[in-house]
Copies of this chain bind each other. A is one copy, B any other.
Amino acid sequence: MGDVEPLYYADYLQLDRLLSSQDLESAKQGETVHDEMLFIIVHQAYELWFKQILWEIDEISDLFSQPTIDESEMLQIVRHLDRITEIQKLLIAQIDVLETMTPLDFLEFRDYLIPASGFQSAQFRLIENRLGVRPGDRVRLAGSPYTTAFSEEDRSRVEAAEKQPNLFELVDRWLARTPFLEQGDFVFWDQYREAVHAVLDHDRRVIEKNPNLTAGEREEQLRSFDHTFDLFEAIFDPERHERLLATGERRLSFTAFQAALFINLYRHEPALQEPFRLVTLLVDIDQGFTAWRYRHALMTVRMIGRRVGTGGSAGAAFLTRSAEKSRVFSDLVQLATFMIPRSALPELPPEVEGRMRFRFEDEA
């Protein structure tokens, strides 16, 4: 090391470029508007963090793209995902800083920006595509595709990512490979269906026999019960699952869905501890972006009211709708719908449980 060129902080971080990349439009037009600097800096900080998020997604995707994932890499994948959730907290915190600019301040330079708009971040669209937002779920901007305002290069990069295997698909395949769902006589999904039925039968009997209910209340509760019962039936029936996939209400494949539930229910098994963290973090990331989009929508209402956004979008309403549509791991988010209490879970046969333990435990 000793005889390489010494490295200086400013050179290493390329501060000459970084800190000379803030050109205020207002200054170009003759009158510097103080708050435009904040607008530029906060968006540049967003873009730096988007680059970091992409860097993590790329690494995670590479690890997931292997035919089999070495268990020694699970921690690494989980740590990359965890880092993304920490960055998401920053993304939200940055809104607090941006809100120190008031609508009146924004009006001073807003017109200079037309038609630039925060919706035009190619990196953010890339993140969405790499995660697995479906092209068909994209909310259109005044009838135009979401890539309209991009440069040729950005557009092709973003559109190419629509076709690459995204994180959703990679996770789906990894889940579907979970090796513990069937072994010998043990078929998890059959056992789980039985357990669910036992729970639901008991629930129905309680409602039917409850002497404190009026006829109306009993009817109401049974209706709600039937709704729950039907939700459960849909997950056990491959054909109904297919139909939910077709309408887009569900995205995970039949087996991946089972595995996700299995991992959540038996998360204490050593071999499932990291997978449990992994699926939990996917939920965190999904909700992190949703929370950020909501906060962003709230800020936009405040900043431009009910006017049209600089990029021609319908402003805040657009953002709220977009937040709803951009969920990727909603099957995982809503998995609680299909859980039953631990005490009612099927017990795993020793030969299944044994496979999920460490070799050194044999000695104990």
A34–B43 Cα distance when bound, in Å, is 24
Shortest beta-carbon distance from A136 to chain B in Å: 22
Shortest beta-carbon distance from A362 to chain B in Å: 8
Is there an interface contact between B47 and A48, defined as CB atoms closer than 8 Å?
A: no
Q: Give 6 new A-B contacts, CB below 8 A, not counting A2-B210, A302-B336.
A: A14-B21, A86-B97, A107-B336, A271-B360, A290-B298, A305-B339
Known: A308-B224, A337-B306. A79 touches B100 (CB 8 A): yes
Select A18's contact among B44, B52, B339, beta carbons within 8 Å: B44
Known: A71-B358, A210-B2, A302-B287. A100 touches B117 (CB 8 A): no
* Chain B CB within 8 A of A141 CB: no
Which partner residue on chain B sits nearest A150 by CB separation?
A: B10
* Chain B CB within 8 A of A239 CB: no
Q: Which of A300-354 contact B (CB under 8 A)?
A: 301-308, 311, 333-342, 354
Main secondary structure of the interface of A (DSSP, over half): helix
* Chain B CB within 8 A of A246 CB: no
Known: A211-B3, A341-B107. A120 touches B18 (CB 8 A): no
* Chain B CB within 8 A of A154 CB: yes
Is there an interface contact between A276 and B75, defined as CB atoms closer than 8 Å?
A: yes
Which partner residue on chain B sits nearest A343 by CB separation?
A: B108
Is there an interface contact between B307 and A337, defined as CB atoms closer than 8 Å?
A: yes
Kindly list the 5 A-B residue pairs having the minimum CB-CB distance in the complex, ordered from nearest.
A305-B337, A103-B336, A9-B120, A305-B336, A2-B210
Known: A37-B55, A103-B335. A116 touches B9 (CB 8 A): yes
* Chain B CB within 8 A of A187 CB: no
Q: Which of A204-243 contact B (CB under 8 A)?
A: 206-207, 209-213, 220, 224, 227-228, 231
Q: Which of A259-302 contact B (CB under 8 A)?
A: 264-265, 267-271, 273-274, 276, 280, 283, 287, 290-291, 294-295, 298, 301-302
Stretch at the interface among A88-96, A159-167, A168-176, A190-198: A88-96
Shortest beta-carbon distance from A2 to chain B in Å: 4
A322–B117 Cα distance when bound, in Å, is 30
* Chain B CB within 8 A of A361 CB: yes
**A23 contacts across to B, CB distance below 8 A:** 14
* Chain B CB within 8 A of A41 CB: yes
Is there an interface contact between A363 and B287, defined as CB atoms closer than 8 Å?
A: no
* Chain B CB within 8 A of A256 CB: no
A89–B47 Cα distance when bound, in Å, is 19
* Chain B CB within 8 A of A111 CB: yes
Shortest beta-carbon distance from A286 to chain B in Å: 9
Is there an interface contact between A220 and B142, defined as CB atoms closer than 8 Å?
A: yes
A232–B150 Cα distance when bound, in Å, is 33
